[in-house]
Amino acid sequence: MKAIVQERFGPPGILRLADTDRPEAGAGQVLVRVRAAALNPYDWHMMRGDPYVARLSGGVGLTRPKSRVAGIDAAGEIEAVGAGVHGPRPGDEVLGFCPGSFAEYARTSADWLVAKPAGLTFEQAAAVPMGAVTALRGIRTVGRARAGQRVLVNGAGGGVGTFAVQIAAALGAEVTGVCSAGNADLVRSLGAAHVVDYALEDFTDGRVRYDLILDNVGNRPLSRLRRALTPAGTLVANGGGSPGRVFGALGSMLRLAAADTLVRQRLRPILPAAPAGPTHQDLLAVTTLIEAGRLTPVVDRTYRLADAAEGVRHVERGHARGKAVIVVP
């Protein structure tokens, strides 16, 4: 099969299109014929082996990538099922977490997939898993957003932010989105009652206070973010970080957790969604919102499989509008 592979850690130029063996579905697994795969910050972190401390965990690889084929989000059709898999059948259209999704075929756990909503294209469906589940956990699970609350989403035009605005609005919150001027109309169309242009306004000046802030950007000091919260408000910090850092987002998360013990406000870290935790239920929750017409994936642009490196460069620059997606023929 055709796949995007990497033999070492490094910049996007190390990614190359190659012929490789097609995986087989083992017990409890399914083989997916990938039709589209989303690009995430997660992918360039894995590509670069960044932050360095993540290499010590064993999940990334110490001196070279543990997974030779890149990618995690996918949508496609089930090609085959392994022993012990009940429910999913060959031919079913699905979306979910598929390690090695930048390829024609990817193998994954049956629990990491759900049925693709009929109204979505494969490109839209591929945009859902990591972005929508991270947003759901940030707004609903960790943030505990409720109807009538003031919720601010920093980075509202991005891959997680576009989902977060919609989820908060679906819960009945009064949503403020922080984004560029070019994304203002998009963010309003997704349900934001107010939009802040980060180039012209400082949402941390304390003039307006919020019950919940989901920070997808990490460009404001914690002291300023707390100033924008109500006395009992919640800050949810989404993981991220720039390439080349030793500790990356982990250092920020640890500092946030330490500060949480000293203040009345709730300061909570959330790492980007991956195949861990209640993944199947979270995927079902977001597809239920999609089927109800309350959540729509925003696809920024698409790339051919052979152009995956260009797509990773685009996401790494940090100015994606919604999600970027690879189309697999």
Residue 29 has pLDDT above 70, yes or no: yes
Residue type (1 letter), 180: S
Q: What is the pLDDT of residue 222?
A: 92
Q: Tens of pLDDT along 212-225?
A: 999 999 889 999 99
Judge contact between 31 and 78, C-beta under 8 A: yes
**pLDDT in the model for residue 50:** 65
For residue range 180-227, list pLDDT tens digits in order.
Answer: 999 999 999 999 999 999 999 999 999 999 999 999 998 899 999 999
Per the structure block, which two tokens stand in for 300? 């920024």
CA 188 – CA 165 distance, rounded (Å) = 9
Q: What is the pLDDT of residue 19?
A: 96
- CA quadruple 320, 325, 326, 329: dihedral sign: negative
Q: Could you give the CA distance from residue 186 to residue 200 in angstroms, rounded to a whole number?
A: 18
pLDDT of residue 256: 82
What was the pLDDT predicted at 246? 44
> Reduced to 3 states, what is the DSSP secondary structure of residue 260?
helix
Pick from 131-145, 169-183, 232-246: least confident: 232-246
Average pLDDT, the chain: 89
Residue 151 pLDDT class (50, 70, 90 cuts): very high
DSSP string, 123-173: HHHHTSHHHHHHHHIIIIIIT---TT-EEEEETTTSTTHHHHHHHHHHTT-
Which is more confident, 70 or 257? 70
Is residue 52 within 8 Å of residue 66, measured between CB atoms? no
In the chain, % of residues over pLDDT 70 = 87
pLDDT tens for each residue of 77-113: 999 999 999 989 999 999 999 999 999 999 999 999 9
CA 83 from centre of chain: 30
Read off the tokens for 276. Answer: 């861990």
- The DSSP 8-state label assigned to residue 8 in this structure reads S
Token duo for residue 20: 């490789």
Predicted confidence (pLDDT) per residue in 264-323, tens digit: 899 998 865 556 667 899 999 999 999 999 999 999 999 999 999 999 999 888 778 999
